[in-house]
């Protein structure tokens, strides 16, 4: 299965970084958050990516065209730097199809723009490229396959606390409670689609509004509920939390070999 990565938005909620680089390229530890997302899929054997580029597309292209895997892996260097041997398991060999889908397109239109890249796939994966999780992808895919539905997304609890208010038409509050006490779930940005998803998207439409409501009307949209680790990088504070996790060696989204590499790099910086 191919993996479609939406990485062309402006990232206005984390403007401190996104004015100079696209949001998926904001670093978490020694790598862009997008790299962490791709590593996640790679560990399950999915290494064929379709990148929906837009805002500062040249930055993402330049990163992958000059990706130096030796800089973040244990290695042996000889012949005055001309020969480099990776120690241990080599980095994944990604296949990247990089398509400029425009700066101002929304997610639904970016997906339509790369339709010809995935329409030969019975199913494909997709991701917002700005959130990390340790959810069992193989289990999620199996759950989706057995359902026979057309689309699926990971449903998660919001990783921050807020208070839910219930009140009547006159504004008199009847109840206050924490979101942790409710059955509130949010879209976590990890998707699985059958190719029929394109029959539900019209020109100009966002992905999770009109198309998803059409799927809901036909009982064809599935949510995979997951209560384990998930964190999106929507704000500068989110980025700081993820950075602190890397520095403390607490990276639920990465297995132990990746964790050791990150620790090594963070100590050197």
Write out pLDDT tens, residues 235-266. Answer: 889 999 999 999 999 999 987 655 444 443 33
**Is 268's pLDDT higher than 70?**
no
pLDDT tens digits for range 154-196: 999 887 666 778 788 887 787 877 766 667 899 999 999 999 9
Which residues on adjacent β-strands are paired with residue 154? 224
Mean pLDDT (the chain, rounded): 87
**Is 22's pLDDT higher than 80?**
yes
pTM metric for this prediction: 0.85
**Is 12's pLDDT higher than 80?**
no
- In this prediction, residue 71 carries a pLDDT of 66
pLDDT tens digits for range 70-115: 666 677 888 877 788 877 666 678 999 999 999 989 999 999 999 9
Residue spans per domain, the chain: 3-157+185-268
Q: Which of 4-18, 42-56, 148-162, 171-185 has the highest mean pLDDT?
A: 42-56
Class in CATH terms, 3-157+185-268: alpha beta
Q: Average pLDDT for residues 215-232, to the nearest whole number?
A: 96
């Amino acid at each position: 299965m191919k993996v479609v990565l939406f990485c062309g938005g402006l990232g206005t909620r984390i403007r401190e970084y996104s004015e100079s680089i696209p949001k998926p390229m904001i670093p978490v530890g020694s790598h862009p958050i997008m790299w962490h997302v791709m590593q996640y899929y790679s560990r399950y054997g999915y290494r064929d990516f379709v990148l929906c580029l837009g805002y500062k597309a040249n930055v993402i292209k330049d990163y992958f065209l000059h990706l130096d895997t030796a800089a973040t892996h244990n290695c042996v260097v000889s012949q005055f730097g001309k020969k480099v041997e990776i120690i241990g398991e080599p980095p994944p060999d990604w296949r990247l199809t990089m398509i400029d889908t425009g700066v101002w397109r929304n997610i639904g239109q970016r997906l339509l723009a790369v339709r010809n890249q995935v329409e030969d796939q019975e199913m494909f994966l997709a991701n917002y490229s700005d959130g990390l999780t340790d959810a069992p992808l193989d289990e999620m895919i199996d759950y989706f396959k057995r359902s026979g539905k057309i689309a699926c997304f990971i449903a998660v609890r919001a990783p921050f606390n807020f208070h839910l208010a219930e009140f009547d038409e006159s504004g008199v509050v009847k109840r206050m409670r924490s979101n942790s006490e409710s059955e509130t779930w949010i879209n976590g940005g990890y998707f699985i689609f059958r190719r029929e998803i394109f029959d539900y998207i019209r020109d100009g439409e966002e992905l999770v509004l009109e198309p998803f409501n059409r799927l809901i009307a036909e009982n064809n949209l599935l949510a995979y509920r997951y209560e384990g680790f998930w964190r999106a990088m929507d704000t500068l504070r989110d980025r700081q939390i993820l950075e602190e996790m890397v520095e403390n060696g607490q990276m639920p989204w990465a297995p132990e070999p990746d964790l050791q590499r990150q620790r090594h790099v963070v100590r050197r910086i």
